[in-house]
Structure 1
């Protein structure tokens, strides 16, 4: 018998080591950070927590290592009421780890290893999806291609609405676009997919149309504080950014994706979901921190 959820998330779960600095050190330099924290992250975990904190019943798919970092991540997900029963514990690979550097402008640069994130198998996904009933599948490109393609295929078979966050840009592969209903790239990811450099909303619209030609029904091109351009069912919508005092841009895109997924799953109003996601991401940018800084459903009322 299947368990009912609002959103199923396939994605990465890894430990983020975040260093806050005044400015990025030059190549070869040593810099002293203002602070360093070690917290659970990964695009998949972030999006699952975002959806759960905004009132969704969420199942997590993916893999962690059978190590202390993996336990920390699973404990964190459990604390936010994300169902982790389908998460694989790898005996062969350690939990993925990323180093995140954030400067005074709130921009971030990352480097890391995927570790167990790349160990999820076709059978892991098929077994999990056979036990799941949900209207929305949310995924990124931060796990292995095998797991992504299997989830896309199984999600399509089950008639799920598929939201693809095509990040990171370096992991993009065109085949995934044939299965996605909605694709949500930022400027860098948009250029990777379409070859169009997005400098303004005209560029964003041209890119969104090019994305839709690859298969999705909808494209949302995100431009940070310049807002977003949505090309949905042949119609164009320009969404202004919510003005906030930006202090930490890390996870903004993940909050957007999680918020979009949970709102659409519960209300089936796409444009309302986009605006909800836009507000949720803005609220996150105004706060320093990871999962504890994500907005809650009460704060979004």
Structure 2
């Protein structure tokens, strides 16, 4: 079954520095790079590199960044027929400061990404209703996201919503979400409570469950992920690795999760696989350049299994 990703396409402008500057401070950086990204594009390519059939819905500007992003998506075997080009807005950009610990600070200027409105997505109902699963994030117009979720719900299509960047969401939207994938910070914002531990993450997830989400998967970085649904909760351990760049960690997780679910895997199997994909992604620099291919993930999981205590 195919995956339809509805979301953002950005050109990432990445500066590497030993540490992020304080307010009013100027620092020298070590490296600058332009890297194709955007949460929607990252998630689409993450799934495509694993072997999924992926269609992307989004918008770029009629500029060099937009042309470059379209070319990258085509090279990655993502169907680009529903990525439109704005007549008035520039392609979205993200300014990323990456420190030597691999942590990032990001400012997104969404540009053409937020130009897509409910009417635009309603015109693509025939594309959404044929999907095996729909994947969305929050770097686009929220009203458009709500309209897309309503269309998917109407046709019984599962929806993965990665609620990033975090913002308050209405219960009507949450009720139409099959799989909500916040990190700890986002879970806390959505639930209205501080999240500083796995127990806090579960409490936040329980609040979101009451708002109508079917499955909440809280990503916990190197600690893995926590699944919470009507059946209970399950902590799926992560794969500790040395982080080089965490920019696309969550996006790689979501793309992998979608691919596994369309292949009929159980949720805990899908989350374990997605944890592995995320671990591999943080080990390389860049957003799209860091996303692993299926053979890399298989080898990584095999080596992890062999390293487990009691493994033959």
Fold agreement, TM-score > 0.5: yes
- 2:111 counterpart (115, 130, 148): 115
- Does residue 140 (structure 1) correspond to residue 137 (structure 2)? The answer is yes
Partner of 2:268: 271
8 Å contact kept, 1:48–1:60: yes
Q: CA RMSD in A?
A: 1.4
Distance 1:131 1:288, change over 3 A: closer
User: How far apart are 1:276 and its partner, in Å?
Assistant: 0.7
- 1:129 counterpart (125, 143, 167): 125
Unaligned runs of 5+ in 1: none
Any idea what the Cα deviations from partners look like across 1:8-27, whole Å, max 9, x if unmatched?
A: 00111111100110011121
Which deviates more from structure 2 when the two are superposed, residues 221-230 or residues 165-174? Answer: 165-174
Partner of 2:99: 103
Distance 1:82 1:158, change over 3 A: same
Unaligned runs of 5+ in 2: 299-312
Any idea what the Cα deviations from partners look like across 1:226-250, whole Å, max 9, x if unmatched?
A: 3221113322101112111111111
Any idea what the Cα deviations from partners look like across 1:43-93, whole Å, max 9, x if unmatched?
A: 000100101001100000111111111111111111101111011211011
Q: What are the within-5 Å matches in structure 2 for residues 11-160 of structure 1?
A: 11-132=7-128, 133-160=130-157
8 Å contact kept, 2:35–2:286: no
Partner of 1:215: 212
Partner of 2:221: 224
Q: Distance in 1 between matches of 2:59 and 2:242?
A: 35
Q: Distance in 2 between matches of 1:171 and 1:45?
A: 23
How does the TM-score come out when normalised to structure 1? 0.95
8 Å contact kept, 2:19–2:100: yes
Which deviates more from structure 2 when the two are superposed, residues 83-92 or residues 127-136? Answer: 127-136
Q: Distance in 1 between matches of 2:202 and 2:74?
A: 39
Partner of 1:252: 249
- Runs of 4+ in structure 1 off by over 3 angstroms are 170-175
